[in-house]
Every structure is written in C-alpha cells, then in structure tokens.
Amino acid sequence: MTLHADWKPAEEVAAEIAADEAALSRIVVDLWERVEALEREMARLRQGPVRSDPW
C-alpha cells in the first residue's frame, strides 16, 4: 500500500463525513416531504372533479 502525502487527518475526514451525512439527511427529508405531497395530490385527484354547482 502506498502512502500519499495529501492524506488528511482522521478528524478532518470524520468531520467531512459528518457534514456529508447531514446534507444527505436533509435531502432525504426534502424528498420524503415531496413524495408525501404528491401522494396527497394523487389522492385528491382520484376523488374526481369538484363541482361547485350542487345541481
């Protein structure tokens, strides 16, 4: 195994990994909220058109 002079300290790598995990977590939450909103919209559309005229 070859050692590279540009290797980072373990603490720096751990901090970068933690930042990446936090960013991914925010992305997952955002996508989950979008999926839920789409599911609500699909359920609303399945109910058919809304008639304002009761006759």
| pLDDT at res. 49 | 80
With 0-12 CB in 10 A as exposed, 13-18 as middle and 19+ as buried, what is 50?
exposed
Q: Which residues of the chain have pLDDT under 70?
A: 1-5, 53-55
**DSSP for 8-45, written as a single string:** PPHHHHHHHHHHHHHHHHHHHHHHHHHHHHHHHHHHHH
Q: Give this prediction's pTM.
A: 0.66
Question: What is the pLDDT, as a whole number, of residue 51?
Answer: 74
Hunting for tokens 């991914």 — which residue is that?
A: 24
> Which pLDDT score is estimated for 39?
98
- Give me the pLDDT at residue 1, please: 43
